[in-house]
Amino acid sequence: MSSSTIENSEYSDYRSPLATRYASKEMRYNFSEQNKFSTWRKLWIYLAKAEMELGLAITPEQVAEMEAHANDIDFEAAAKEEKATRHDVMAHVHVFGNQCPKAAPIIHLGATSCYVGDNTDLIVLRQGFDILLPKLANVLSRLAKFAMMYRELPTLGYTHLQPAQLTTVGKRATLWLHDLLMDERALRRARDDLKFRGVKGTTGTQASFLQLFNGDGEKVKKLDRLVTKMAGFEKCYPVTGQTYSRKVDVECLNALSSLGSTVHKICSDIRLLASMKEIDEPFESTQIGSSAMPYKRNPMRSERCCSIARHLMTLVNNALQTAATQWMERTLDDSANRRITLSEAFLSGDVILMTLQNITEGMIVYPNVIARHIDQELPFMASENVIMAMVKAGGDRQVCHEKIRVLSQEAGAQVKQYGKDNDLVERIKKDPYFKPILDQLDNLLDPRTFVGRAPEQVIEFLEEEVQPVLENYQGLLSESVELNI
């Protein structure tokens, strides 16, 4: 291929995989050039309308002209203008003014670049949360049904990744749900806490607007309130520098990065369970797990979630560094960083939630494999039950404990040294000492008696914690929530 062909190919420029491969259409649009610059124009329209309402020499014809061109942006002309002026906002002011000759004199009247830049960012952040929250609710819904379905199925619990007391498959899912509920609360709070920057002027003092209204501070305050309402916000930040505080970005990315840690933990658990062959994520009939090993069913979706979640978790550090290094009323070293960080955080959050929803919609459980793993470990865990039964039958606890200890070590050697099954139960059955309780052994070794209140905990948790949250998203879920609690 010639160099000229490469240069002209649509594949010759770098394109972020988050946009081309992973994220949803609605999230990509939220951070698109079209959405950004049409929002700038809407903000100029809001400003003109409010200034006209408060008595400045702006006509309805000028406003109507601006409204007629709110979305038809000449990107080529704007790029050419920005190349000449080295200023993105003024480039778009000029291009918009060329399209709206009557309104050109009053576009951006009294405003600074951050009027459109920061206010648009706040609108986009809020819309990003509006996209993510229903997706998170759908994951909660799917996992709640999964927890309910498997609330009674015993499985090995693990501490230090070593077999511990039994739990249930459904109870383990509630641990995932618990963390996701915290993320839902954090994302919702971050969304609801967002305010509008409003019309604050170059360093946040509103001096330019005070001059426009001949020193009438009440009109300036009303202008701020009017534009804030037009943009769909209840409140604006009462004080700003040239920008809104970059701590706002920190709060947003804290919530998103925390979501990343939750999804990484959930999908790591699924990957471990898939390795044990206890659970599989969905796997299409034509899907290839490995180019070299046709038999493999790699947990690729969970791996993708972990991969992108790790990236997401790092992004909050950029927001922290930016907030920490803003000098006085602002420095421009935040701009390039935020263009990358904010969009990638929301696109990454979008990807992991969509992928996790897909995983939870089709997760497959293998009860027979789980039961086999329990059989390997339960005899050791049941030794205390056997001792107590023997004591009730008249035996001596210390004698019984010593016999169980010896038999357990023999059985453990069979497992670890020779790779054989755990035969502790068979050894107990063959030892005459345990004859008084042989008819109780099956009940003493019933896995269902080792899970405590796990099934009841699942029901209580879904009723008291999960269901009330899901009720806030009725109509936004991909299907109605029927947990049959």
Active site residue 373: no
73-110 tens-digit pLDDT: 989 998 898 888 888 899 998 999 899 999 999 999 98
Name the amino acid, one letter, at 327: W
* Residue ranges of domains in the chain: 24-99, 113-282+296-365, 369-449
Instruction: Give the pLDDT mean for 142-147.
Output: 96
Report which of residues 334 and 138 the model is more confident about. 138
Catalytic residue among 2, 3, 160, 285: 160
Q: What is the pLDDT of residue 4?
A: 54
Q: Is the pLDDT of residue 140 over 70?
A: yes
Q: Which residues contact 391 (CB under 8 A, 6 or more apart)?
A: 397, 400
User: pLDDT > 90: what percent of the chain?
Assistant: 62
Q: What is the pLDDT of residue 474?
A: 87
Q: How confident is the model at residue 477 (pLDDT cuts 50, 70, 90)?
A: confident
Q: What is the DSSP letter of 205?
A: S
Q: Of 31-35, 140-144, 438-442, 472-476, which range is least confident? A: 438-442
Instruction: Give the pLDDT mean for 10-39.
Output: 88
Instruction: Give the pLDDT mean for 185-193.
Output: 97
Q: How confident is the model at residue 275 (pLDDT cuts 50, 70, 90)?
A: very high
CB-CB contact of 138 with 478 (8 Å): yes
Q: How confident is the model at residue 189 (pLDDT cuts 50, 70, 90)?
A: very high
Of 347, 320, 186, which is closest to residue 245 (Cα–Cα)? 320
CB-CB contact of 47 with 222 (8 Å): no
Query: Is the Cα dihedral 365, 367, 368, 373 positive or negative?
Result: positive
* Phi and psi based region of residue 198 (left: phi greater than 0; alpha: psi -120 to 50; beta: remaining): left
Q: Which residues contact 335 (CB under 8 A, 6 or more apart)?
A: none
Q: What is the pLDDT of residue 431?
A: 85
Of 294, 236, 233, 302, which is closest to residue 273 (Cα–Cα)? 302
* Token pair belonging to 393: 């039958």
Q: What is the pLDDT of residue 188?
A: 97
Q: Is it true that domain 369-449 has CATH number 1.10.40.30?
A: yes
Q: Of 67-81, 109-123, 355-369, 422-436, which range is least confident? A: 422-436
Neighbours of 179 (CB within 10 A): 16
CB-CB contact of 344 with 369 (8 Å): no
- Please indicate, yes or no, whether the overall pTM of this predicted structure exceeds 0.75: yes
CATH of domain 24-99: 1.10.275.10
By DSSP bridging, strand 364-365 and strand 279-280 are antiparallel
DSSP-derived secondary structure for 130-168 = HHHHHHHHHHHHHHHHHHHHTTT-EEEEEETTEEEEEEE
Average per-residue pLDDT in the chain?
89
Q: Provide the β-strand partners of residue 166.
A: 156
d(CA 375, CA 422): 8
CA-angle at 205, arms to 204 and 207, nearest 5°: 125
Contacts 24+ apart (CB under 8 A), 82-88: 87/113, 88/113
Q: Is the pLDDT of residue 142 over 80?
A: yes
CB-CB contact of 461 with 171 (8 Å): no
d(CA 93, CA 58): 17
Q: How confident is the model at residue 7 (pLDDT cuts 50, 70, 90)?
A: low
Q: Is the pLDDT of residue 453 over 90?
A: yes
Helix, strand and coil content of the chain, in percent to the nearest 5, comes to 70, 5, 30
293-308 tens-digit pLDDT: 444 578 889 999 999 9
Active site residue 160: yes
Q: Is the pLDDT of residue 391 over 60?
A: yes
398-415 tens-digit pLDDT: 988 898 888 888 888 887
Q: What are the φ/ψ torsions at residue 377 (nearest 5 degrees)?
A: -115, -30
CB-CB contact of 112 with 242 (8 Å): yes
Q: How confident is the model at residue 9 (pLDDT cuts 50, 70, 90)?
A: low
37-55 tens-digit pLDDT: 999 999 999 999 999 999 9
Q: What is the pLDDT of residue 425?
A: 82
Q: What is the DSSP letter of 360?
A: H
CB-CB contact of 422 with 415 (8 Å): yes
Q: What is the pLDDT of residue 380?
A: 76
Q: Which residues of 194-223 are buried (b: 16+ CB within 10 A; e: fewer)?
A: bbbbbbbbbebebebbbebbeeeeebbeeb
Q: Is the pLDDT of residue 287 over 50?
A: no
Which CATH code, of 3.20.20.140, 1.20.200.10, 1.10.600.10, 3.60.130.10, is assigned to 113-282+296-365?
Answer: 1.20.200.10
Catalytic residue among 9, 12, 275, 290: 290
Exposed/middle/buried for 105, CB within 10 Å: 0-12, 13-18, 19+?
Answer: exposed
Q: How confident is the model at residue 282 (pLDDT cuts 50, 70, 90)?
A: confident
d(CA 445, CA 450): 9
Instruction: Give the pLDDT mean for 3-22.
Output: 73
Q: How confident is the model at residue 484 (pLDDT cuts 50, 70, 90)?
A: very low
Q: Provide the β-strand partners of residue 154.
A: 168
Report which of residues 331 and 456 the model is more confident about. 456
Q: Which residues contact 324 (CB under 8 A, 6 or more apart)?
A: none
